[in-house]
Structure 1
Amino acid sequence: MSGMITADLVDLDLAAETKEAAARSLAERMVALGRVTDLDGFLADVAAREAQMPTGLDGGIGIPHCRSAHVSEPTLAFGRSARGVDFGAPDGPADLIFLIAAPAGADDAHLTILSALARRLMDADFTAALRTATDATATASLISGEEPQTGAEADAAATAPPTAPEAGAGAEAGTEAGTDAGVDAGVGDGTDATASGDPAGDPTGDSSGGGHVFRIVAVTSCPTGIAHTYMAAESLEQAGQVAGVEVVVEPQGSAGFNRLDPAVIAAADGVIFAHDVPVREKERFAGKPTVDVGVKAGINRAAELIAEVRGKAERGEITGAAAGTGHASPVDNAGEPGEGYGNKLRTWLMSGVSYMVPFVAAGGLLIALGFAIGGYTIDKAPSVAEHFIWTEHTSWAALLFQIGGLAFSFLVPVLAGYIAYGMADRPGLVPGFVGGSIALTINAGFLGGLAAGLIAGGTVMAIQRLKVPAPLRGIMPVVVIPLVSSAIVGFLMFLVVGKPIASLQKALTDWLSGLSGANAIILGVVLGLMMCFDLGGPLNKVAYAFAVGGLANPNEGSLKVMAAVMAAGMVPPLAMALATTVRGKLFTRTERENGKAAWVLGASFITEGAIPFAAADPLRVIPSAMVGGAVTGALSMAFECTLRAPHGGIFVIPLIGNPVLYLVAIAAGTAVSTGLVILLKGARKTGRPEQGAAAGAAGDGGAAAEAKVPVAA
């Protein structure tokens, strides 16, 4: 690790008062050494990672980190703040701040060594030494795991040839820190069985020599897999030693993961999942009492989690996460405090929509190609299994249309199945798909699929919370849960809630069919605002799913809705691309590069192409995008444009009703958004002359010059 941090990357008197300023101050040191190639681009990546989850930890530690294309080599900078900087930790500001910069393609060895640092941060002696250090060179040596050196010693060492490979240095670092981090760094294995008091790594041994030792296996993971993953692992192992519990952890980090020995898992009495990304190969842990929380809970509440899983084992409880198989459900961190049911509901629904979208793209575009080649009467063609002429284009068109129709017929079952999956993991799939198919059978459509998914997921979650005798635990996820939950969901969908939902679906379809005039324009405005509010997020997906649901049984109104939604979704990236072309001085060099890609993304109806701009300046970009999207949605509805394809952007223009006016609507919204974002960014630049120097330091000399223009009194 010695090459990752030097004295030049240590600031023992960090003066920054905000986390953004702290990250910038430390990142500037990386830029000065050539470790970071684009300051603003790198800081945008740091901010995006920070937006996923605060990086402050209990004990006065802040550890902002990211993997970025603007990092040339793995680098670590350290700052010590006398005032403290708020990184969102529950116990207050951080005085020890580590900025970890990993290249987008960082090799496994470097990431493993960085994970060793994350583990060492859980050592009180290590953090105490950092708080009392007075020399930058000695501090860098301490962090890298070397013996502290004076400045003269460091100079001498710099001229001496290396005596050991870097991995060996990582192993030595871990030994000196008194943790098993060095084992992880030296051999790249984050699952050392000896860390929990079993010298031989024997899953059936008894380290106490007395009665049964309670054994726990755990998995930790975080979005970047660099820091929190390994800190949670270390915290759980330390808490296990204090409680007299054997804890073996499988950190699933960016450098991959080493699977726990199946014998260790089989011998375990309980499971802890501390994760913010899906647990890989989760089926290995099926049939055991399980606690499923976010990764920060693994760091801050390790002792509580161990006590909780012991209590579940004593009561014979099997939670949904343990009973399931396959990858982790996207949500349901039931043990994480502060998680509201509204947030969970949103994530459950988005789980279903995200799995549905590929079926939408494949099926919808095949249908569109069928119409394009064979005309709008192709839906009346006989089955190609019975009638297909190789030399006739109409037969090929019918083939495409019928394949697309079959793919499209999966929309509602997939939606329902993966909503249930998001709630209850894989056991929710069977009742979810069954409920979604029933929704199609009784003409309950898209709304019926939503209801079926929620009912199926809730039913499975309720069954999973029942106390089950140990002999039955193995067959619960394979036999009992699918059987009972499918019967319950089928009963409710056929006889209780299905028919009212079908009536509501019919009323909605009739309303869309009759849309005209002011009502259609208002709906276009609302849909445009939704598409541009979070740029591919939950609200965007709700509007898109609403439009796609109407294509299952298309009519004039639903085709207008689909056209308005796609047109509005194209506006944000196109507007940002145009703005960077017209007034490039208002944007950083990285944003100007992103603007070139945004032309293609916007033309292809990929709204997410505007996310880099919104992340860097949300208060100006998002409102501008929303206004333009509303204009486009309203004009598309007013022009009575229609669209049969659920995707494709300008590449499906031949399938659009009133295509010229459709392009006019998109151009108008793009122009409005472009004008607004230029106006708002220009006002910021001229109104804040003190930002000129900072902008110049970021490598945007033109923007800096413009920023120095004073505002007239």
Structure 2
Amino acid sequence: MSDMITADLVDLDLSADTKEAAARSLAERMVAQGRVTDLEGFLADVAAREAQMPTGLDGGIGIPHCRSAHVTEPTLAFGRSASGIDFGAADGPADLVFLIAAPVGADDAHLTILSSLARQLMNADFTSALRSAADAGEAAALIRGEEAQAEETPREVSGASAESAELSVPGGTGGTGGTDGTGTGAASVSRRGAAESGFDDSAVTPAAASAGVTAVSGADAPDAPADERPFRIVAVTSCPTGIAHTYMAAESLENAGREAGVELVVETQGSAGFTRLDPAVIKAADGVIFAHDVPVRDKDRFAGKPTVDVGVKAGISRPADLIAEVRERAARGEVTAGAPAAAGTPVERAGDSGDGYGTKLRKWLMSGVSYMVPFVAAGGLLIALGFAIGGWEIDKAPSVMDHFTWTQIDSWAALLFQIGGVSFRFLVPVLAGYIAYGMADRPGLVPGFVGGSIALTINAGFLGGLAAGLIAGGVVMAIQKVHIPAPLRGIMPVVVIPLISSAIVGFLMFVVIGKPIAEAQQGMTDWLNGLTGTNAVLLGALLGLMMCFDLGGPVNKVAYTFATAGIAVADPSDSAMKIMAAVMAAGMVPPLAMALATTVRSKLFTETERENGKAAWVLGASFISEGAIPFAAADPLRVIPSSMVGGAITGALAMAFDTTLRAPHGGVFVVPLIGNPMLYLVAIAAGVGVTTALVVLLKGLRKPATGTASADPTASTEAGSTQTEQQPVAA
């Protein structure tokens, strides 16, 4: 903690009147200390996190925080306001403001120490001491925990145990930072909670202790009769950042549990990762509390128990109410449903519970596409290799079951082609099956695959697969809402749901909507085949824009899926192969351009970005658009528009040059399989050149951030640090 805050990072007379001004004032101190490389970029990440959920807490506390590519090391800045600043807390303005800055990829020990501040903010003694601190040095020492070295006895409100050495813990009384940087303070919290709540302290496992959870063996306390022991609760806390609210909610719930006389064990799913509660602890629990703003990981572990599910701030502000509510539900016998229902669908497990229908629809479709793409890549490349080895007539070769000669190259080419063809025939069924899976979990797989196979049978193609998947998922979801007598529930997922849903989906696909969809599919194919001249060039430019817009995200996947659907047939048209060529060429542009830019104007990029640029050469050449994500994340307003311009030019030129591609992946490694390969490379080179020029120009025009100090002129202010996410991490 001593490295995280100094007197220079403390302002006891914070004069800001808004949360934005407060964050700027404290962030400027971080910039002056070399802790933040780009003031405006960092403040944008703070604002993005603030937009997700206000960071004001009851008790006059504001705790703006984020992970950012512009932070060089974990840092705390503290400000004290006489008039108070509105951070959105229910009880009014905050007079204590903590700005927490964590770099992307901060190590677990640092994140653990940061989380201990969050726990310590629940200690009234700590906040009172900060309000009365006479100077910046005293306040910094309080936060570092230096005054706590003389206090070797545990405090009831602090969460530290007697056997824990109170080093590197804010205020000396938190419970997550250990002296060795391994999080031993978290183990202290767990042991304290175990001892005070009646758990067998000897049953705390090292792995669980290091992660801040109490693991109880199934041999001792869990077997005690319920009427002879306190009520037992397991809880999970998590927030978008996993630094502050996650641990504050945990501390608040633990304190309330002790006051209520219940045994309460918390699993904190924070930025430093998490260790699952021992299954014996969950089994022995009488109730469950979820206080979270991101999906609870492995939620199905807690199925079949009385459950209260709220946002993380409720865990901080009203923990006693949550404990009372879960006890009331237990008394009424309310429990969650079985594992599939409790776990939610795959889309719900990966997204936000408050997603609207449009967002869910997109995620359902992307679920199907994500499972389909490996079949596309494997099948398409095998088919392309078959053509490359055996020539364009290899598709007329007899089945290798009937004719295969080990010493003939044509037999091997036919084998590759036919294996690829089998893989391709899975595309539509897999697409439909996993769209339904995203909607209704495993019960959706059978009707989804059946509907997708029917779409293939009636030549409804890609559009038919989309419709079949959505129908199958909807039918299963409707069946699951019907109240079923308890004796019949066991056969529902194995017999009843597959039977009824497959029959309904099959009827609809064969008799009702299959023919119109097949006609629409044929109409789209005919339209593509008729594209020539300007229309084809415009389509290539549009696809290029889409491929470079989000670099592997949903828009990129829509363009890629559109292209692969066209070639996922036994005999794709020239237009379909032109579209595939344009899409792959455009997708190669962003990473190659970033690699070239870091080579020709290295001073505009940080050392980390220059290293990423070396990897981007290989990623771009392999048609992995995600190779440009670190650059786009650090500087999206310059990198993404530049990439889109270059991608549009490449896509348009690829179509204008009549280049074709049968393989759905491979980058430069499948250039021998491309029609007009030299012109194809010219199109890619043109787009790369344009994107590189635009990025260099725009970055060269950017003014350095005021107050940034760096001995390395190539670092700090030009582009910020990089990260490996698709977006700057402000969560």
Tell me whether the two structures share a fold, i.e. TM-score over 0.5. Answer: yes
Taking a change above 3 Å as real, the CA distance of residues 114 and 51 of structure 1, as seen in their structure-2 partners, is closer
Q: 1:578 aligns with which of 583, 596, 615?
A: 596
Q: 2:278 aligns with which of 256, 261, 271?
A: 261
Letter in 2 for 1:58: G
Q: In the TM superposition, what is the alpha-carbon distance from 1:386 to its structure 2 partner?
A: 3.9
Aligned to 1:424: 440
Q: Are positions 1:563 and 2:562 aligned together?
A: no
Aligned partner letter, 1:432: G
Using the TM superposition, give the Cα deviation of residue 522 of structure 1 relative to its aligned residue in structure 2, in angstroms: 1.9
* Cα deviation, residue 555, structure 1: 1.6
Deviation (angstroms), 1:443: 2.5
| C-alpha distance 665-3 of structure 1, shift in aligned 2 (>3 A) | closer
Following TM superposition, by how much is the alpha carbon of 1:392 offset from its aligned partner in structure 2, in angstroms? 2.1
Aligned CA RMSD, in angstroms, stands at 4.8
Pair 286,186 (structure 1): closer, same or farther in 2 beyond 3 Å: closer
Report the Cα offset of residue 143 of structure 1: 3.3
Deviations 1:481-540 (A, max 9, x none): 555544443443333333332222222122222221222122112111111112221111
2:187 is aligned to 187
**Cα deviations by residue, 1:282-309 (Å, 9 ceiling, x for unpaired):** 5433455767777677667878877599
Distance 2:125 2:682 in 1: 66
Asked if residue 391 in structure 1 is aligned to residue 407 in structure 2, the reply is: yes
Say whether the 8 Å CA contact 1:430–1:482 is kept in structure 2. yes
Distance 2:448 2:393 in 1: 34
Q: CA deviation at 1:584?
A: 3.7
Establish whether residue 79 from structure 1 lines up as the match of residue 78 from structure 2.
yes
SS at 1:429's partner residue? Answer: helix
Using the TM superposition, name which of 520-529 and 291-300 deviates more: 291-300
Is 1:680 matched up with 2:698?
yes
What's 1:353 paired with? 369
* Distance in 2 of aligned mates of 1:23 and 1:430: 56
> How far, CA to CA, are the matches of 1:607 and 1:309 in structure 2?
51
Contact kept, 8 Å, 1:80 with 1:97, in 2: the verdict is yes
CA contact (8 A) 1:285 1:322 kept: no
Contact 2:169 2:176 in 1 (8 A): no
Matched, 1:375 2:391: yes
Q: Over residues 196-216 of structure 1, what are the superposed CA-to-partner deviations in whole Å (9 max), with x where a residue is unaligned?
A: 956456446688869x95x65
Q: How far apart, CA to CA, are the structure 1 residues paired with 2:393 and 2:188? A: 62
Question: CA separation in 1, counterparts of 2:88 and 2:558?
Answer: 30
Per the alignment, residue 460 of structure 2 pairs with 444
- Provide closer, same or farther for how the CA distance between residues 105 and 20 of structure 1 changes in structure 2, counting only shifts above 3 A: closer
What is the alpha-carbon distance in structure 2 between the residues aligned to residue 11 and residue 602 of structure 1?
A: 47
Shift of 1:543: 0.8
The structural deviation recorded for 1:632 is 1.4
Classify the secondary structure of the residue corresponding to 1:612: helix
Could you report, residue by residue, the CA deviation over 1:453-473 in whole angstroms, capped at 9, with x for unpaired residues?
323333344444455666666
Q: Give structure 1 stretches of 5+ with no counterpart.
A: 155-163, 686-690, 706-713
Could you tell me which amino acid in structure 2 is paired with residue 318 of structure 1?
Answer: A
**Closer, same or farther: CA 192–328 of 1 in aligned 2, 3 Å:** farther
Q: Is the CA contact (8 Å cut-off) linking 2:13 and 2:79 kept in structure 1? A: yes
In structure 2, the residue matched to 1:700 is: 713
**1:317-374 CA distance string (max 9 Å, x none):** 638864459978444543x4xx322222222322322233233222222222222222
Deviation, structure 1 residue 643:
0.8
Structure 1 residue 547 corresponds to structure 2 residue 563: yes
Give the secondary-structure state (helix, strand or coil) at the position aligned to 2:699: helix
- C-alpha distance in structure 2 between counterparts of 1:614 and 1:487, whole Å: 47
Is 2:376–2:564's contact at 8 Å kept on the other side of the alignment? yes
Check the 8 A contact 2:176/2:187 in 1, yes or no.
no
> Given the alignment, which residue of 400, 405, 410 partners 2:416?
400
Match in the other structure for 1:249: 266
Distance 1:449 1:19 in 2: 53
Aligned equivalent of 1:530:
546
Match of 1:459 in 2: 475
Q: Partner amino acid for 1:96?
A: V
Deviation of 1:552 after TM superposition, in Å, equals 1.2
Please show how residues 280-299 of structure 1 align to structure 2 within 5 Å: 280-287=297-304
Specify the code of the residue in structure 2 equivalent to 1:187.
A
Give the direction of change, closer, same or farther, for the CA distance of 1:165–1:184 in structure 2 (3 Å limit): closer
Query: Is 1:514 the counterpart of 2:515 in the alignment?
Result: no
Q: Which residue of 2 aligns with 1:603?
A: 621
Give the 5 Å matches for 1:71-220. Answer: 75-80=74-79, 82=81, 95-101=96-102, 104=105, 106=107, 111-123=111-123, 125-145=125-145, 147-148=147-148, 168-169=164-165, 177=173, 185-187=185-187, 194=194, 199=199, 202-203=221-222, 217-220=234-237
Instruction: Classify 1:111/1:672 alpha carbon distance in 2 versus 1 (closer, same or farther; 3 Å).
Output: closer
For 1:381 and 1:477, the matched residues in 2 are separated by: 43
Give secondary structure in 2 for the equivalent of 1:258.
coil
Distance apart, 1:384 and its partner CA: 3.1
Distance 1:44 1:597, change over 3 A: farther
SS at match of 1:168: coil
Compared with structure 1, are the counterparts of its residues 286 and 511 closer, same or farther at alpha carbon in structure 2 (3 Å cutoff)? farther
State whether residues 290 and 321 of structure 1, in contact with CA within 8 Å, keep that contact through their aligned partners in structure 2: no
Question: Following TM superposition, by how much is the alpha carbon of 1:9 offset from its aligned partner in structure 2, in angstroms?
Answer: 5.6
| Aligned residue among 672, 680, 699 for 1:662 | 680
Contact 1:42 1:71 in 2 (8 A): no
Equivalent residues of 1:54, 1:88 under 8 A apart: no
397-406 or 115-124, larger mean C-alpha shift: 115-124
Contact 1:24-1:43 at 8 Å conserved across structures = no
Give the Cα–Cα distance (whole angstroms) in 1 for the partners of residues 496 and 93 of structure 2: 50
Q: Is the 8 A contact 1:418 1:453 kept in 2?
A: yes
Q: TM-score, normalised by structure 1?
A: 0.78
The answer for the alignment partner of 1:161 in structure 2 is: none
For 1:623, the equivalent position in structure 2 comes to 641
Deviates more, 1:277-286 or 1:611-620: 277-286
